[in-house]
Structure 1
Amino acid sequence: MEDLALHIPTDVIDGPTSLVTALIAALAVAWCTVAARRGPRPFSRSARAEGSDGGMDERLVPLAGLATAFIFAAQMLNFPIAAGVSGHLLGGALAAALLGPWLGALCVTVVIVIQALLFADGAVTALGLNVANMALIATFTAYGVIALALKVLPRTRWGLGAAVFAASVVSVVAASAGFVLQFWIGGEPVGQSFGAIAGAILGTHVLVGIGEGVITAGAVTAVALARPDLVHALRGTPLAKPAPALKEAR
């Protein structure tokens, strides 16, 4: 079975493109580090009342470790998406929903670096390419989709699940589009037309996104039901409970 993933191996994208992308990714990761340390603005009235200074919420530290471990383990497991083809979780939507874009991107970056250095999953020379696609593009795209969706959808279990599911699909396709752009700029010839390659990659990653959406929506809603204060996407607001059924008048 072929493993379809965005971990770019060696000799797929040329050296200059890989180097420039690595520099851009390094600057972006440094920016995320500064933003994560500074922390988001207080997301609830209670936080403002307690005099929060906007620094990183200490509750996010253990959650970041758990999210990183979960994404790492999930990326090692494949799920079938078509005959002879499998995919795996990217983790951008999960990280964005639980941790926000800055810390979420850092967690996915850690996963990608460990996989490249210790497990040879993705070439070290393509590390910047993989970080740009899976950690930066996927996470920030997912965060944008979730933020927009929750302005329209009700903040219920199903509303949050739908927002996270949509973010997962869009983020995976966006990450694959990043690879398509990189391949268009500096891809090595493979004997097929660029249009055929782009269509196959984007189309198949829609299926990967659907699989990721199911896993991520389930994980995020489970955390939201137990500890909504740990879900960055909710800004500390508990999920709305269904309205109780009206009793029949006697």
Structure 2
Amino acid sequence: MKNKYVDFISDEHFLDCVANLHKAYLKAKNNITKKNFYTNKVDTIKLTFDAKFNDIDEESLIQAEILRQIDKSINNSIGTFHEQILGGIKGFEIGNLSGYDIKAKDNTLFADIKNKHNTMNSSSAEALFQKLSKYADENKKAKCYWVQVLAKSSFCELWKGEINGKEYSHSRVYKISGDQFYALLSGKENALFQLYKNLPIAVADYLNSIEKTKSNAENSALDEIKKETKTSKRTILDQITFENYSYYLGFDKL
């Protein structure tokens, strides 16, 4: 029977991957309490500039900052989504924290997947090259790939050049764009395009299939902070600054 969504993985696997990402979204949205929001110190000096120069009220500003934190968490989950999709292609599997993200079951391919081309500094790039070279050396028939799902162009080429002042090259270590890696594993030139075009259909089918239950209170951080301002009589920004930096000289006077 013909697949509904794409022709390189089953509909069931596709929907499982969508379900896993949906859970990640719900977890991220339900996880921003005041305590979580303050985990990394809030830059209230920057937020002051943002409020004044962009003419944004404090409440909208904090809500936008909370959404930025959610987005940062979700970006990591998007990479996992691609790993899970690709791991459903016949002959391949995901790494499950074993050092690689995707490998061929016959050990002829190993890959590390990054969602965006600019997510690594030079030290991370050097460590990744060394890791892929090790896989290639240990598996003489293997080709090893640094995959950039969202790359600046479409390519598949040997990864060689200078990293941290050292020359690196290996005859079986490559860097490859997302479209070409999807094509390589699936044997379908337009595999990533298929995914893109059918993703809205799969997501709609998934959402229609699940029971609509009321989720936990989302983003309680702002409500918690506003509750504190009612007794402290501080502005929202002053309250956040006080709760983050009251131990700084003079800040206890807020």
Name whichever structure is richer in helix by fraction.
1
Query: By the TM > 0.5 criterion, same fold?
Result: no
Name whichever structure is richer in strand by fraction.
2
After TM superposition, the score normalised by the length of structure 1 is: 0.28
